[in-house]
Amino acid sequence: MKYVDEFRNAELIKRTAEEIRRLADPDRRYRIMEICGGHTHAIFRFGLHQLLPKNIDLVHGPGCPVCVLPSARVDEGLEIARGNDLIFTAFGDMMRVPGSHGSPLEAKARGAEVRMVYSPLDALKLAQDNPDRRVMFFAIGFETTTPSTALTILRARERGVSNFLVHCNHIMVPPPIRAILDMPDMTLDAFIGPGHVSTVIGCEPYRFIAEAYGKPVVVSGFEPTDLMQSIAMILRQFRDGRCEVENQYARALPWDGNPAARRAMETVFEPRESFEWRGLGFIPGSGYRIREEFAAFDAEAVCEAPGVTTLPSDPRARCGDVLKGALKPSECELFGTECTPETPVGALMVSSEGACAAQFKYAHVTISA
Amino acid sequence: MTDFRDETIQLAHGSGGRATRRLIEGLFAPLLSNPALDAMGDAASLEVDRSRLAMTTDCFVVNPLSFPGGCIGSLAIHGTVNDLAVSGAEPVAITAGFVLEAGLASSVLRAQIEAMAGVARAIGVPVVAGDTKVVEHGKADGMYICTTGLGRVHERADLDPARVRPGDRVLVSGPIGDHGITILVARSEIDLETDLASDSRSVLAMTRALLDALGPGVKWMRDATRGGVATVLNELADAAGVGVAIDEPEIPVRDEVRGACELLGLDPLHVANEGQFVAVVSGEDADHALESVRSVPGGEQARLIGEITEAPARTVLGRSGYGSARVIDVLIGDPLPRIC
């Protein structure tokens, strides 16, 4: 298949693995965080961690939007929909994410009107097709999906759609990276930057990681050859004593990202003072809210959620430490006992991009390929 | 002794994955236990007056009722025949129960029954009895069909997961994932356009050819419906206590299915099929097995995709072709597209 197979070329992957072995200094460790959940998924799907020398650790970062969404937001979204008789729509990713009273899918099984959509435009279309109902899009995602929500709200206004609402949970990549870098127990050496997010925000926002914190960043694509090449590029920076932001994903990613998408985002959204991240707590300036000018589309502004109660999360769940890379999933007390992919306590166990779900699937097996 | 503790039945209990297994193994199997049921095959194996019979039952719940490549009526016959076929049996007769929703257009019902009749005639299996119930409007997606199939087991068949050994090979009858992706697109929840059609068909001619050629050299067969090839291989690994190693580059998948799966973050191995089966054959007969399936019209794209291994036991591995491997697990719940 074009645009896929050439980036999964077995010979090229093997050659890059050899190059990585040559570049890695055997006398040191490399702890490299792949920020993006899409990378975590690809690493496990293609078994790339098995191709690396033992002194390179891949640490799974906070870039899986459903993994970091706190229960309170899921609870509020579902309660707003229930209390105001809205049709709740969300991406498939969201459907199994647990709130404190269950996931959207469980709410659906109990009779709530929950629909999966592929794009926010599908939710808008649902609103236009059902003028006597109100439709809410439960918006999640980093800067990758934020522009499409922004454009959908702009289109709703343009077309005068009055029965469409958005519950905004959009978040940003750079603030949690800064938060992780500021943690006292941080031991990371370098970062693999998120390719898709960067097609919007560009590479410039990562400069502080290299310049202020002295950690190399290589923004990467999602195929096996991309990730292997990015790791080699990081090792070359160490070998040459360089520390900079490099773009491995140049075939899709201009250095400056997509200014038009950013303009749409900035037109519709503004940073929240603070937003809660599951496991990481409240991080200043890390989430988006809908600007007042578009309040008519803002479910949080228009609807009340009187009945919403969020149960305190299980204090034994150590999602935060796992997200920071300070704890391996299997070192958490709940891992594999009370917290499994079927009965997840934390969202890291829900998504195939979550470090815990990945570990749960692979940890019990020693693979000799 | 039952150990099914879930408080309510959720959609995941019907998706063919881990929750389904918990429901069956924790509730149905212990309460209804008997030797034929406990074998947990696609069809039960019975001996009546020294005749080896296979018996299976299946419910069909499909939305939409018709889709490219098939409809609920054709699916009901194909699904029942396939459960018998992969149990090494030739279908003798089928019965069908219909749950109809008040308000269903008679023309729709007629079209479905005509489809059933056409498919049954082509396979050569009679529908010998039926039952009809009508429920209130809104209580069923138009119609549900429940079938029972009775078959006579091939005289040389000796299918038993306990006979599966390291060194045996895994055969798949053709490209996987067509049905699941076709249904996903036909439900129009996702705005994709494809030329795909469901693979809904009878696999009987292929399983017959395989058994005629190999007899007891065929050790195990399953049709890879809900939960896809990954789920049936995991069931095999568990039942036989062996490892299964699949060479991922060898798995036949159409470009359209791969493309849709890449876009939606799905794994073709988890996507449902309605006209493909997976077989384990003894290592020395593998090439002969492949030839015999390929010689049947519709079996040309069959492939040997992997082998049975000793370790890791009870695990399915996918080998990448560049020195790495991954665990291929059963599906949890329905496959949901990943977007963000």
Closest Cα partner for A248 from A261, A237, A263, A259? A237
pTM of the model: 0.87
Q: Which residue in B246, B324, B331 has the most chain A C-beta atoms within 10 A of its own C-beta, making it the best mutation to test that interface?
A: B324
Quote the ipTM score. Answer: 0.81
Phi and psi at residue A312, in whole multiples of 5°?
-65, 145
User: Rounded CA gap, A180 and A198, in Å?
Assistant: 19
Strand partners, B90: B152
A182-233 pLDDT tens trace: 988 888 999 999 999 999 999 999 999 999 999 999 999 999 999 999 999 9
Residue B129 contacts A where some CB pair is shorter than 8 Å: no
A140 and B18: CB-CB below 8 Å? no
Supply the pLDDT for residue A271: 98
**What average pLDDT does the segment A257-285 reach?**
94
Which residue of chain B comes nearest to A110, CA vs CA? Answer: B10
Which residues of B are less than 8 Å from A17 in CB distance? 322-323
CATH topology of domain A1-314: Rossmann fold (3.40.50)
Rg (alpha carbons) of chain B, rounded to whole number: 19
What one-character DSSP code corresponds to residue B17? S
Q: What is the mean pLDDT of residues A274-286?
A: 90
pLDDT category at A366 given cuts 50, 70, 90 is: low
User: Which residue of chain A has the CA closest to B248?
Assistant: A46
Contact assignment for A224 to B322 by CB distance below 8 Å? yes
Residue A367's pLDDT band, with cuts at 50, 70 and 90, is low
Chain A neighbors of B190, CB-CB under 8 A: 118
A90 vs B335 pLDDT, higher one: A90
Give yes or no for B163 touching A (CB within 8 A).
no
Residues of A in contact with B8 (CB under 8 A): 109
Residue A365's pLDDT is 56
Interface of B with A in 173-192 (CB under 8 A): 189-191
Q: What angle separates helix B72-85 from helix B204-214, to the nearest 10 degrees?
A: 10
Helix (H, G, I), strand (E, B), or coil: what is residue A159?
A: coil
Please list every residue in chain A whose beta carbon sits closer than 8 Å to the beta carbon of residue B271: none
pLDDT at site A369 = 43
CB contact under 8 A, B324 and A95: no
Q: Shortest CB distance from B340 goes to which of A145, A224, A367?
A: A145
Residues A4-32 have pLDDT tens digits of 888 899 999 999 999 999 999 999 999 99
The amino acid occupying position B36 is A
Task: List the strands of the sheet with B315-319, edge to edge.
Answer: B218-223, B277-281, B169-172, B303-309, B243-247, B315-319, B325-327
Q: Which of A188-202, A245-259, B175-189, B209-223 is least confident?
A: B175-189
Phi then psi for B27, rounded to 5 degrees? -125, -60
d(CA B42, CA B115): 24
Which of B8, B314, B326, B340 is the mutation pick for testing A, counting most A CBs within 10 A? B340
Number of Cβ pairs < 8 A linking chain A and chain B: 117
Domain ranges of chain A: 1-314, 319-362
pLDDT at A93: 87
Whether B336 and chain A come into contact, CB under 8 Å, resolves to: yes
**Alpha-carbon gap: A105 to the closest alpha carbon of chain B (Å):** 8
Nearest-CA distance from A195 to chain B in Å?
13
For chain B, which domains are there?
A: 44-153 (3.30.1330.10), 161-327 (3.90.650.10)
CA of B83, closest CA in chain A: separation in Å?
A: 28
pLDDT on residue B189 = 67
Q: Which one of A36, A103, A365, A366 makes the best mutation probe of the B interface by having the most chain B beta carbons within 10 Å?
A: A365
Contact with chain A for residue B11, Cβ under 8 A:
yes
The residue of chain B with its CA nearest to that of A111 is: B10
Express each pLDDT in B280-312 by its tens digit. Answer: 999 999 999 999 999 999 999 999 999 999 989
Compute the mean pLDDT over every residue in chain A, rounded to the nearest whole number: 91
- Distance from the Cα of A183 to chain B's closest Cα (Å) equals 27
Chain A nearest-CA distance from B241, in A, is 15
Inform me whether the pLDDT recorded for A120 exceeds 70. yes
Give the chain B residue whose CA is nearest to the CA of A222: B262
Contact residues on chain A for B264, CB-CB shorter than 8 A: 92, 118
Mean pLDDT of chain B: 93
- From the CA of A240, how many Å to the nearest CA of chain B? 29
Contact: A224, B319; criterion CB under 8 Å? no
Give residue A359's pLDDT: 78
pLDDT of B13 strictly over 90: no
Bridge pairing between strands B277-281 and B169-172: antiparallel
* CB-based contact B315 A365, cutoff 8 Å: yes
Chain B residues with CB-CB distance to A142 below 8 A: 340
User: Using CB atoms, which residue from B18, B191, B320 is nearest to A118?
Assistant: B191
User: Identity (one letter) of the amino acid at B150?
Assistant: L
Helices assigned H by DSSP within chain A: 10-23, 37-45, 65-68, 71-83, 104-109, 120-129, 146-158, 174-181, 195-201, 207-211, 224-240, 259-268, 299-302, 319-324, 355-362
**What's the CA gap between A320 and A184, in Å, rounded?**
14
